[in-house]
Structure 1
Amino acid sequence: MCGIVGYIGHRDSQNILIEGLKKLEYRGYDSAGIAVYTDKGLQVKKAKGRLAVLEDQLTGAPLSGSIGIGHTRWATHGKPSDVNSHPHTNVQKKISVVHNGIIENYIQLKEELIAKGYVFESETDTEVIAHLVSDLYEGDIVAAVRKAVKRIHGAYGLGVLAENEPDKLVAVRMHSPLIIGVGENENFIASDIPAILEYTREVYILNDGEMAVLTKDGVTLTDLEGGPVSRDTYRVDWDMQTAEKGGFDHFMLKEIYEQPKAYRDTMNPRIDGGRVVLPEVGMTADYIRDIRRVHIVACGTAYHAGLVGKTVIERLTRIPVETDVASEYRYRDPIINKDTLVIVVSQSGETADTLAAMREAKRQGARVLAITNVVGSSVARDADDVIVTLAGPEIAVASTKAYTSQLIAFYLLGLYFAQTLGTVDAGTVSATIDAMEKLPEQVERVLDQADVIKRVSEQIKDVDNLFYIGRGLDYTVVQEGSLKLKEISYIHSEAYAAGELKHGTLALITEGVPVIALATQEALFEKTLSNIVEVKARGARVLGIANEGDAEMAKSVDDVLYIPRTLPLLTPALSVVPLQLLAYYVSLARGNDVDKPRNLAKSVTVE
């Protein structure tokens, strides 16, 4: 959510800021702006809308200078508008601030500042920071920022410039991701690595409560009291080509097709001789034997991965598992004991609600295991154990390969626990691993049927409502399929447990309503087929998805797509792929911006 880029060095900063912000467009935004120290002092340009609007403004009146900050905003406080866009400045336009996050006590601070005579132009919480820093400024911008953040409550990633000290760029992190890029005679700040990867691979990942002071010649890290922080840089081992479209029309499509590789990369290093090895999990065998319950906590797509994880862990280990939406977890007063393992799942590792839930679980004494796609993220640093999914950077807002890599992580974890507990015999473990190793090639076979899915998408692109049904693990998968369709096509869709149709939902099934029916669980196939017949009898148009060889499906539906057979427990890793493609092609057919759906952000860093 929102993007920050900052530069200090020997190059023209405007181009670096704009190009960096383009690399962060996947995070979601509704306005953009930059502030640059020029020969006329600190100057700001900002505009509602896409970066192209800002670029048009800069074409005839560029901001020339070698130090600057830039921002793409996703509205929280105040509607999207030019005046609410970042960067924000103090009254004299001498101090400029970009900010990701939310300042929880901004009303109190704003009232204090207004009482002192400060005039506010915007509706944002961020403008409070600019005026507060100005109020505390006595010729030392670092000291002023340090004093200001001690008065601020909430989440923030900050970039601050002062016209009177054009040789410094100040950055601070608290509960909102921020990195520092280290170059030769130039340095950078950004809210994510792709923004600066063109210029450097050496980065510092700031921790909460840390400040960085950048000059063109170096970077100084401190805590908020000014105490020195010593840390080695982290070297990024992937390149921009990995984060580019690579010939695909959209990042989402590219990432769907990258899933076979993501499966292999996440799985292969953790399989050895027919067994799962997880050296990154430091739990002793005694600890695992003492686990009495597991809580899986996540948001959105990651939560749907957790629903699959619940079934995987329960079936393989017989340990009871609860799944919770992270934004609700803290507020239901969950029962957490020392024998509770909490698993948090987050693609970015910066999801605010998930972080808050994790911290509450740790406060109550639980051990926390994180599944995330980002090394060095807040979730990865704060958890007791971490399984990093090796999906590579995921740029599209609608998650695909990160979700399926999370499924692979749950399969690995469930098998690892089962090995330790002896709840599954070695032969079953080995057979499950053999089946998992076939998944990448099987996904490729599903992708080969994209034309079938594209044809179906044309039939449903103009509908207002759509339904997904399934039983067992199929029900967990259709929840993710329905979310994908809603996210990027804007069609209202609902996912239902197929057996619940007769308890009310059948009232919504009318002539021509599309229904996507998943029937891959062999033990429930006949039951699901009966539910399909129920909706067909009421005029629904049904796309059925089943395992190869289930000929009965074709007799009962209007269109059918088959996935390769695998173990019932592993089918979600295959059956979700056609649902991802369906969402993509429907969105495309409706003329939507597939990678950047309205009102949504990639990394949700506010609660």
Structure 2
Amino acid sequence: MTTTEARTFAHAMLREIYEQPEALRATLAHNLDGNQLKSSIFQNALEAFRGRERLVIAASGSSRHAGLAAEIMFEDMAGLAVDVEYASEYCYRSTHTLQDPCVLVISQSGETADTLAALREARARELATVAITNYAESTMASEADASLPTWAGKEKAIPATKSFTTQLATLYLLTLAVARLRGRMTTQAVSGRCEQLAAIIPALEAALPAWEAKAKELAGQFSSAKTLLYLGRGIHYAIAREGALKLKESAYVQAEGYPAGELKHGPNALVSQEAPLVILATVDREDPDSILRYEKTLQLMRDMQAQNAQMVALVTEGDTAIAEITPHTFAIPATSEYLLPLLEVIPLQLLAYFSAILRGIDVDNPRNLVKAVVQE
């Protein structure tokens, strides 16, 4: 019996947070044969990428944050130049930006008006298009040259949780496929990375109860906060943005996501006891660039400690340096730099959930929001 079957959940959002291991398993089962990419699944998408050096990603909301993470993946692992657009702005951008790119649209529903308009504009420009949606029969999936469905299952709560993590997983697998197409990665390397992706699912499942308890505790401690600043470097900046969005839409608390290095360029003026920092400070010890980012983030945290800032940190399991700076930490299982976001986002979803519950908010149906924005 799974955790979701054995437990009664007060809200769809919490249930869907706990359904993420199952959703990720379904996504991998669809896209992988063992630790190998299924060529039949990625064939059309790879044709869209073939011969192209550039990629435009158009999306809105949480899907755009998945796109920001994918920007780092595609640039670092596949060697593509990537531009991430707000879908609502793409149609108004000059047609001379990024000549002859592939255009990738991301949408949970596959019906988002702005993103659908971006897809149709790309097709009008005779560009190759790929759609990542949670509904294989959606309009975007039907109209794009290639469709890569996620397998999150129906998501009832308006705040995106399992649809977001399955987007990240699908984007990661697509990046591996494109990296292989472009000769940037061997078959053995792709297989090893697929194995790493599969390995984080049981680790995530095991960590969920502790993350839930910590999120509930911290939501209570920071219930008087008027604003929160979420900070991350590199690929983790995308997750800082997503964490801030979750808090805004779920708990009606002002929050912003920033690159960690930008804090001292203005936002630091906001930092106070009423404006805590949520800092993504994980590290992949096998990646020199990740280590450098971690060391810079650690120094920033020491500087903020000297300012008496309130801090919550996401840290890699076993980290002792950050425990000396703040007691408020979520322990994230160790994995590679590009897979850490799949784990990091979940404690932030839980923090948003419990912050909303403390404020008496109907977290499944936040005010003024709908699941799919089908009118521009």
Per the shorter chain, which TM-score range? over 0.9
Please say if residues 541 and 558 of structure 1, whose CA atoms lie closer than 8 Å, have aligned partners that are also in contact.
no
Q: Give the match for residue 427 of structure 1.
A: 188
Report the identity percentage.
40
* CA distance in structure 2 between the aligned counterparts of 1:263 and 1:257, rounded to whole angstroms: 11
Q: Which has the higher helix share?
A: 2
Q: 2:240 is matched with which residue?
A: 478
CA contact (8 A) 2:75 2:81 kept: yes
Deviation of 1:287 after TM superposition, in Å, equals: 5.9
Instruction: State the aligned residue count.
Output: 364
Match of 1:123 in 2: none
Give the distance between the partners of 2:17 and 2:188, measured in 1 at CA.
32
Correspondences of 1:472-511 after superposition (within 5 Å) = 472-511=234-273
Is 1:519–2:288 an aligned residue pair? no
Aligned to 1:308: 69
1:534 counterpart (286, 293, 303): 303
Q: Shift of the alpha carbon at 1:534? A: 2.2
Q: Distance in 1 between matches of 2:344 and 2:200?
A: 11
Q: 1:311 to 1:543 in 2, by over 3 A?
A: same
SS in structure 2 of the partner of residue 601 of structure 1:
coil
Shift of 1:427: 3.0
- Describe the shift of the 1:463–1:273 C-alpha distance in structure 2 as closer, same or farther (beyond 3 A): closer
Corresponding residue SS for 1:350: coil
Q: Following the alignment from structure 1 to structure 2, what is the Cα–Cα distance between the partners of residues 253 and 283?
A: 35
| Residues in 1 aligned to 2:96 and 2:40: alpha-carbon distance in whole angstroms | 29
Aligned CA distance change for structure 1 residues 376 and 283 (closer, same or farther; 3 Å): closer
Quick one: distance in 2 between partners of 1:328 and 1:601?
20
- Alpha carbons of structure 1 residues 359 and 288: separation in structure 2 relative to 1, 3 Å: closer
Indicate yes or no: 2:29 matched with 1:268: yes
The secondary structure found in structure 2 opposite 1:605 is: coil
How far is 1:512 from its partner?
Answer: 4.8
Matched position secondary structure for 1:533: helix
For the residue of structure 1 that corresponds to 2:129, the secondary structure is strand
Q: 1:367 to 1:549 in 2, by over 3 A?
A: same
Matches of 2:189 and 2:53, distance apart in 1: 23
2:115 to 347, 354, 361: 354
Residue pair 2:353, 2:363 contacting (<8 A) in 1 also: yes
Per-residue deviation at 1:446? 2.5
- Identify the residue that residue 159 of structure 1 maps to in structure 2: none
Paired residue secondary structure (2:92): helix
RMSD: 1.9
More strand by share: 1
Corresponding residue for 1:122? none
Equivalent of residue 457 in structure 1, options 213, 216, 219: 219
For residues 252 and 333 of structure 2, what CA distance do their matches in structure 1 show?
30
Residues 1:333 and 2:94 are matched in the alignment: yes
**Relative to structure 1, is the Cα distance of residues 503 and 326 closer, same or farther in structure 2, using a 3 angstrom cutoff?**
same
Within 5 A, what are the aligned runs for 1:196-215?
Answer: none
Among candidates 60, 67, 74, match of residue 299 of structure 1: 60
Name the CA distance, whole Å, in 1 between partners of 2:96 and 2:157: 36
1:288–1:467 Cα change, 3 Å: closer
Relative to the length of structure 2, the TM-score reads 0.93
In the alignment, what sits opposite 1:156? Answer: none
- Asked whether the 8 Å contact 1:544–1:559 carries over to 2, the reply is yes
Distance 2:101 2:249 in 1: 33
Show structure 2 runs of 5+ residues with no match: 284-289
Shift of 1:336: 6.3
Q: Deviations over 1:58-92 (max 9, x none)?
A: xxxxxxxxxxxxxxxxxxxxxxxxxxxxxxxxxxx
Task: State the SS of the aligned residue for 1:332.
Answer: coil
Cα shift at 1:425? 2.3
Flag the 1:324–1:245 CA change in 2: closer, same or farther, 3 A. farther
Query: Which structure would you say has the larger Rg?
Result: 1
Query: Is 1:467 aligned to 2:236, yes or no?
Result: no
Letter in 1 for 2:62: T
| Cα pair 1:512 1:539 within 8 Å, conserved | no
CA distance in 2, matches of 1:264, 1:295: 28
What letter is aligned with 2:318? G
Tell me how far apart the structure 1 counterparts of residues 302 and 256 of structure 2 sit (CA, whole Å): 19
Which segment drifts farther, 391-400 or 332-341? Answer: 332-341
Q: Distance in 1 between matches of 2:67 and 2:281?
A: 20
Q: 1:278, CA displacement in angstroms? A: 4.4
Q: Could you tell me how far 1:335 is from its partner in structure 2?
A: 3.2
SS at match of 1:398: coil
Deviating 4+ runs (over 3 angstroms): 280-289, 334-339
In the TM superposition, residue 553 of structure 1 has moved relative to its aligned partner by 1.2
Query: SS at 1:457's partner residue?
Result: helix
Q: What is the CA deviation profile of residues 150-187 of structure 1, one whole-angstrom value per residue up to 9, with x for unaligned ones? A: xxxxxxxxxxxxxxxxxxxxxxxxxxxxxxxxxxxxxx
Indicate conservation of the 8 Å contact 1:337/1:366, yes or no.
no
Distance (Å, rounded) in 1 between the aligned partners of 2:34 and 2:20: 24
> What is the deviation of 1:281?
3.7
Note if contact 1:513-1:539 (Cα within 8 Å) is conserved in structure 2. Answer: no
SS in 1 for 2:9: coil
Show the counterpart of 2:286: none
Matched, 1:552 2:314: no
- Do the aligned partners of residues 334 and 565 (structure 1) sit closer, same or farther apart at CA in structure 2, a change above 3 Å counting? farther
Q: Distance in 2 between matches of 1:605 and 1:452?
A: 36
Relative to 1, partners in 2 of residues 1:308 and 1:392: Cα closer, same or farther, differing over 3 Å? same
Shift in alpha-carbon separation, 1:287–1:577, aligned structure 2, 3 A: closer
From the superposition, tell whether residues 331 and 562 of structure 1 become closer, same or farther in structure 2 (CA, over 3 Å).
same
**How has the CA–CA distance of structure 1 residues 337 and 556 changed in structure 2, closer, same or farther, with 3 Å as cutoff?**
closer
Partner of 1:375: 136
Q: Kindly provide the amino acid, as one letter, of the partner of residue 133 in structure 2.
A: T
Structure 1: runs of 5 or more not aligned: 1-243
Q: Which moved more, 1:405-414 or 1:373-382?
A: 373-382
Contact 1:446 1:577 in 2 (8 A): no
Shift of 1:429: 1.4
Contact 1:347 1:373 in 2 (8 A): yes
* TM superposition shift of 1:595: 0.3
Q: Report the equivalent of 2:14.
A: 253
